[in-house]
Amino acid sequence: MLPDAGAGPRGTDETVLAVDDLRVDFETFDGLAQVLNGVSMRVGQGQRVGLVGESGCGKSVTMRAIMGILAAPPARIAGRIVFEGRDLLTMARRPRTALKGSAMSMVFQDPMTSLNPVFRIGEQLTDIVRWADRRHGLRRGAPERKARILETLRQVRLPDPERIFEAYPIQLSGGMRQRVLIAMALLNRPRFLIADEPGTALDVTTQDEILRLLNDLVQQERLALLMITHNLGVVRETTDYTYVMYAGSIVEEGTTAEVFAAPAHPYTRALFACVPKLSGDRAYRGIEGTLPDYTDPPLGCRFHTRCQHATERCLERPPAFALGGDHRCSCWLSDPAGGQA
Amino acid sequence: MTGDERLLTVRDVHKRFPVRRGLFQRVTSHVRAVDGVSLDVHRGEIFGLAGESGSGKSTLARIVVGLDDASSGSIRFAGEDVAGIRRTTEFRRRVQMVFQNPGSSLNPRRSIEQSLAVPLRFLGVPPSEWMARIVGLLEMVELPAAFRVKYPYELSGGQKQRVAIARALAVQPQLIVLDEPTSALDVSVQAKIIELLVRLRNELRLSYLFISHDLSLMRNFTSRIGIMYLGRLCEVGFTNDVFSEPKHPYTQGLIAAVPVVSDEEAALKPKVERLHGEIPSPANVPSGCSFRTRCGLVYEGCEIEDPEFRRVGFEHDVRCRLFEDEARS
């Protein structure tokens, strides 16, 4: 059974990125690691989509597969990743590469390590513009390129862009470096942006500012944003649509309001229960057990080995049951035909 | 809480790091990492120290456990001035620390049993008893005895942190300084570690000095809390009071910036303007009130007058001129 393939949420003509039944396996010494187990998702223009899950759930593999930066082999990729109507997995190498860093772009997580310490900010940004220009046959002179860079640095609200242009990364604070990374992603006017845990390496106040900035940019530029994070609070405050991932599967999805108002999947509910609340409600608790071994994943629902509600039926993979609106949950408990028999 | 219940007393502790410049490496200025902090940790209490990076909370923690010396000020432990005996085994036995990243605080070349044997050797436990003690320690942190022979790389982040906690417990301390013990872990693992720490405190009558930037976690785990900014405490009080009625503009801004998962929680956030900008460098602290450069309520005089602590509620102290003026008038 192929759950949630095809009929995605908001499958409008504004869909920028559509992932259908994406499967990624890795050849390892311990055998074939079946990491992504049929992932489907949509990101529309001007839409902010969150992909939330814990370390090791396959968030980064999904992101890398979309960006085309998974080495194959060892990775084996199957399924469809459609960007603006074109399947990236069957596309020729050159046009695919030309998309990277321009139409499809990415904000990296760690502002401390994602910039080269021995080059000035300006040099690093110029490289990116020059690279894209070459790919797209654009002839721009150095002053034009610099003007574009300064414009972008201003756009991410960095004070004194001229000074930043001449600075080395070490001369900038963490928050400023994160802004530089955002500017880097925006330089070539992308239409789709992946943000990988932006600001998690920073303090809450700085993270808050960075998330607001991203939000404003998405609205200004009508970007399609895929926000990858482990922080449910960040998802609630900065996205319109939420996918919850566990062990390489999307277990629940819906508009952010729907998922947060009534989390349906036992994993989502357990994850919510783990988050310490500002209300001081001490009733939080962890999840027993650990992520399954991807070389020998559990049959059926991959969460059943840690689930309190597991029944024999869970050995069969549940489809994504519609719960009304865009809200869908891949758990037999949500089966309208009384799945819990 | 009477005076006798104080386990740790920190009084006016300063830590300055010299900044050297030029050919002769002359000291040109000082970074004021910790700038006159006073606090008490009572027996059985979990005291939280919150603040952004660069606020000096980790430096203060290192001074408390004796990894660094204070430039000035006094630290008393169980009524004794520990400035002199800081480096003694006796002090080390009573105050332990659990570090942020269990991946780098455990020796990768030592098996778990070897790591746990080190503190036992320091304690003078005869080697014949080590095995039983190590198994007991692992049991205390809910790890199977078979983990004795494993190496750190075979363990998950949460398991490594449990070993680090077991190592701290090996010497039967009274106070454990926890420096962001769960910030490298997933929330589901964090919740289990916090559960463990709470249980251990209750069973072993431990006290914790808990350092974190995660205010939601602070809210749930600590009994009292101090908010640090640029090497100073700006607000101290019972956790319930500080969260239900944050007084200092910085505390309010900090709580308002926490991402939360429900509307009910969002409603609990103070309705204040978001904090903007970043914490200034501790090498160049603003004059007067050090928070004034980011404060939304700054007014005339804040750049001159350095406010003192004022009592604004039961055991609730705030260092802000808004409350000084109130007290005066």
The pair of three-digit structure tokens given for residue A6, joined into one six-digit string: 């095809």
B124–chain A nearest CA distance, Å = 37
Residue B291 CA to residue A167 CA, distance in Å, equals: 27
pLDDT computed for residue A206 by the predictor: 84
| pLDDT at residue A123 tops 60 | yes
Q: Which residue has the tokens 């078979």?
A: B146
Average pLDDT over residues B263-273: 89
Q: Is A109 at the interface with chain B, CB within 8 A?
A: no
Average pLDDT taken over every residue of chain B: 89
Half-sphere exposure of B150 (CA within 13 A, CB side): 16
Cβ neighbourhood burial of B263 (10 Å; 0-12, 13-18, 19+): exposed
Contact A219, A13 (CB under 8 A): no
The pair of three-digit structure tokens given for residue B222, joined into one six-digit string: 């600590």
Q: In terms of Cα–Cα distance, which of A274, A321, A330, A322 is closest to A302?
A: A330
A276–B220 CB contact, under 8 Å: yes
- The band of A100, judged by pLDDT with boundaries at 50, 70 and 90, is confident
Chain B neighbors of A236, CB-CB under 8 A: 259-262
**DSSP-based three-state secondary structure for B42:** strand
Chain A neighbors of B219, CB-CB under 8 A: 276-280
Helical H runs in chain B?
Answer: 57-65, 89-94, 102-105, 112-123, 127-140, 157-169, 187-204, 215-221, 239-244, 249-256, 263-268, 321-328
Q: In terms of Cα–Cα distance, which of B272, B242, B182, B218 is closest to A208?
A: B272
A9–chain B nearest CA distance, Å = 23
pLDDT tens digits along B20-65:
888 788 888 888 889 999 999 999 999 999 988 888 898 999 899 8
B188–A232 CB contact, under 8 Å: no
| pLDDT at residue B327 tops 60 | no
- The band of A11, judged by pLDDT with boundaries at 50, 70 and 90, is very low
Q: With the C-alpha atoms ordered A22, A226, A272, B164, is the resulting torsion angle positive or negative?
A: positive
Q: Which residue of B has its CA nearest to A258?
A: B262
Burial string for A268-306 (b: 16+ CB within 10 Å, else e) reads bebbbbbbbbbbbeeebebbeeebbebeebbebbbbbbb
Write the CB contacts of A236 (distance below 8 Å, at least 6 apart in sequence): A256, A260, B259, B260, B261, B262
Q: What phi and psi, each to the nearest 5 degrees, are found at residue B268? A: -80, -15
Percent of chain A at pLDDT above 70? 94
B219–A204 CB contact, under 8 Å: no
**Count of CB atoms within 10 A of residue B295's CB?**
20
A260–chain B nearest CA distance, Å = 7
- The band of A13, judged by pLDDT with boundaries at 50, 70 and 90, is low
| pLDDT at residue A334 tops 70 | yes
pLDDT computed for residue B22 by the predictor: 80
Who among B156, B262, B278 is closest to A175 (CB)? B278
Global confidence as pTM: 0.87
Q: Which residue of A has its CA nearest to B266?
A: A278
Percent of chain A at pLDDT above 90? 60
Q: Which residue has the tokens 């084996």?
A: A76
Q: Are strands A75-83 and A15-28 parallel, antiparallel or unpaired?
A: antiparallel
Average pLDDT over residues A91-101: 88
| pLDDT at residue A2 tops 80 | no
| pLDDT at residue A7 tops 60 | no
pLDDT tens digits along A145-194:
999 999 999 988 888 899 999 999 998 888 889 899 999 999 999 999 99
Residue A86 CA to residue A76 CA, distance in Å, equals: 20
Residue B283 CA to residue A256 CA, distance in Å, equals: 43
pLDDT tens digits along B145-189:
999 999 999 998 899 999 999 999 999 999 999 999 998 888 889
pLDDT tens digits along A33-81:
999 999 999 999 999 999 999 988 999 899 999 998 888 778 899 999 9
For the ranges A10-14, A28-32, A198-202, A248-252, the maximum mean pLDDT occurs at: A248-252
- CB–CB contacts below 8 A, A to B: 120
A290–B156 CB contact, under 8 Å: yes
Contact A244, A303 (CB under 8 A): no
pLDDT tens digits along B68-124:
888 889 899 988 888 665 567 778 889 999 998 888 889 999 999 999 999 999 888
Q: In terms of Cα–Cα distance, which of B239, B206, B209 is closest to B224?
A: B239
Residue A14 CA to residue A21 CA, distance in Å, equals: 20
Who among B213, B261, B268 is closest to A272 (CB)? B261
Chain CA centroid to CA B2, Å: 23
pLDDT computed for residue A284 by the predictor: 63
- The band of B224, judged by pLDDT with boundaries at 50, 70 and 90, is very high
| pLDDT at residue B13 tops 70 | yes
| pLDDT at residue B325 tops 70 | no
The pair of three-digit structure tokens given for residue B3, joined into one six-digit string: 């005076």
How big is chain B by its Cα radius of gyration, in Å? 21
Q: Which residue of B has its CA nearest to A273?
A: B188
Q: Is A159 at the interface with chain B, CB within 8 A?
A: no
Who among A54, A176, A277 is closest to B265 (CB)? A277
| pLDDT at residue A9 tops 80 | no
Write the CB contacts of A147 (distance below 8 Å, at least 6 apart in sequence): none
- The band of B10, judged by pLDDT with boundaries at 50, 70 and 90, is very high
Who among A55, A203, A237 is closest to B186 (CB)? A55
B187–A285 CB contact, under 8 Å: no
pLDDT computed for residue B120 by the predictor: 92
Looking at A124-128, A145-149, A198-202, which range is the least confident one?
A: A198-202
pLDDT computed for residue A6 by the predictor: 38
| pLDDT at residue A235 tops 50 | yes
pLDDT computed for residue B326 by the predictor: 57
Q: Which residue of B has its CA nearest to A285?
A: B191
Residue B310 CA to residue B323 CA, distance in Å, equals: 7
Contact A44, A12 (CB under 8 A): yes
pLDDT tens digits along B295-312:
888 888 899 888 999 999
Chain A neighbors of B195, CB-CB under 8 A: 285-286
B114–chain A nearest CA distance, Å = 26
A333–chain B nearest CA distance, Å = 22
A268–chain B nearest CA distance, Å = 11
